[in-house]
Structure 1
Amino acid sequence: MLRQFHKMHGLGNDFVILDARDAPLAMDAGLAARLADRKRGIGCDQLILLEPSDSADLRMRIFNADGSEVESCGNATRCVVKLTGARDIETAGGTIHGDVTGAEVEVSLVEPRFDWDQIPLAYPMATDPVPMGWENLERPHAVNVGNPHLVFFVDDLDDIDIEGLGPGIETDPTFPERINVNVAQVTGEAIRLKTFERGAGLTLACGTGACATAVAAIRAKLVSSPVTVTMPGGSLVIAWAPGEAVTMRGDATHVFEGTIEL
């Protein structure tokens, strides 16, 4: 069976997008992982499957490179908005609203959640900060912006071995759904960020990671809103106020389209 796909990226965080709104496609962890394989498949950080929705313009399902299905992806949402023109997108993490604004795309995620059982954590504890540490990373802030994140603020981002520490933090039993790991450095009124994504590893950019980090920094009065968050792949502008949804603005790039035999 031949299926058309689109290859897109948001600041280097890359996606294979399959549109199954008119022709249903059964997706499972094995197929998603094979398509995401950079040597034997198309290659991507996340595979995106578009399906019909009863409550929005479309439904977006997100599969990490290891085949695990997750709730939300900010960079992918910007790409889907640019590709399809959808304004309201249903995800497992909530409905996301998007709009193309000139050369960039702005999306509005869900209102951030901070309670231990909303992250979720395995048992009750403080989340701002979490009273835990892994080597030289300690007392992170826990934020759910449609998917779960830890945010560590450090003095020098370049001194942190996030690729070495990330797997152990991601799979710590404290996080029953695993966790995305963000390490950030505040530089004046801006933020530098690296993210180790659950199921995908170290990525060039993470949209929800940028949102979670900005929210944690604004709550801690380290920066004011809006704030520019710069990752290895580029920058996003994040805005948030308590009690409101978090918004994110940045690029979305269409690379190519093709067909693949499933």
Structure 2
Amino acid sequence: MTLNFVKMHAHGDDFVVIDLRGQSDPITAQVARRLGDRHRGIGFNQLALVLDCEDAAARIRFWNPDGSVLDTCGSATRGVADMLMREAGTSSIVLRTQRGLLTCARASGQQVSVDMGQPLLDWQAIPLAQAMDTYHLPLPGSPAACSMGNPHCTFFVEDLASIDVAGMGPKIETDPLFPSKTNVHFVQIIDRNRIRLRIWERGGGIPQGSGSCCCGAVVNGIRRGLLDDTVEVACDGGTVTVQWDGVGGVVLIGSVEVTLRGAVADHLLGR
């Protein structure tokens, strides 16, 4: 069986999509690591598998390049939505992830939006190791925490250029406070509708961008009273928009782009 893939990116956040509808799923943690190797495989921040689903257009399963599974990826969800909306000739679509049913739609300028669902704000749901105020965690810098289906820890800083993301990120990711590890954000607020964001991604290192991290950072900024309900987020790889009314689902809006198409070599699948 030839396994075809499409590689895409959303504001530099690159991901690989493999359509397995009507087929068996050959991807294991070992295969995901092989495919995620940027020198010997394809390379990606996330791998998205498109699977059959009874109550949505498709179900998506996500892998990190280190072979770990994640529940959500805003960039890859929008990429899959873009592909399937073009295939079906529709302007909206519903996809299932571990976060539940997510509604995606064509936005202005051929952008794609996804309602990522309500953020999880309770310490147990994030999860944290013990009961505490999730607005101000007991860590240097007093970050805030939430979950978008994966945990997020947000530091608000005066000068983003002075932050050693590669040095601080892995230490926070693996802090005992986070039993499932965490994504780490460093946010410099430009004004109430614009932020600059750099990320240490759980299981992935420093990406050019991350849809769920953009959502988590904005949610924590709104909770702190620092941001309005529509925020432009500038990452290393480009800009997206995040909207949250403080009650309902968090909407992520931005462009997606195909970079290449190909077929997975048999040896990467262990064949």
TM-score, normalised via structure 2 length: 0.92
Measure the CA separation in 2 of the matches of 1:132 and 1:126: 12
Given that residues 111 and 256 in structure 2 are in contact (C-alpha distance below 8 angstroms), is that contact kept between their aligned partners in structure 1?
yes
Distance in 2, Cα, partners of 1:49 & 1:213: 26
What is the rounded CA distance, in whole Å, between the counterparts of 2:27 and 2:72 in structure 1? 17
How far the C-alpha of 1:117 sits from its partner, in A, is 0.2
Q: Aligned to 1:160, which of 156, 163, 167?
A: 163
Residue aligning to 1:124: 131
Partner of 1:104: 111
How far apart are the structure 2 equivalents of 1:225 and 1:242? 8
**Residue matched to 2:59:** 59
Q: Aligned match of 1:195 in 199, 217, 220? A: 199
Shift of 1:26: 2.5
Match for residue 186 of structure 1 among 181, 186, 189: 189
1:146 and 2:149 aligned: yes
Partner of 1:20: 20
Corresponding residue SS for 1:99: strand
Identity over aligned pairs, percent: 39
| 2:211 pairs with 1:207 | yes
Q: Which moved more, 1:123-132 or 1:69-78?
A: 123-132
**Equivalences, count:** 258
Shift of 1:94: 2.5
- String of CA shifts for 1:28-67, please: whole Å, max 9, x gaps: 1110010011111111111111111223211111101101
Q: Which runs of 5+ in 1 are unaligned?
A: none
Runs of 4+ in 1 over 6 A off after TM superposition: none
Q: Work out the CA distance in 2 between the residues paired with 1:245 and 1:145.
A: 10
TM superposition score normalised by structure 1:
0.95
Instruction: Please report the RMSD computed on the Cα atoms of aligned residues, expressed in angstroms.
Output: 1.2
Cross-structure match for 1:93: 99
User: Quick check: 1:93–1:147 contact (8 Å CA) kept in 2?
Assistant: no
Greater shift after overlay, 161-170 or 79-88?
A: 79-88
More strand by share: 1
User: Which sections of structure 2, spanning at least 5 residues, go unmatched?
Assistant: 86-91
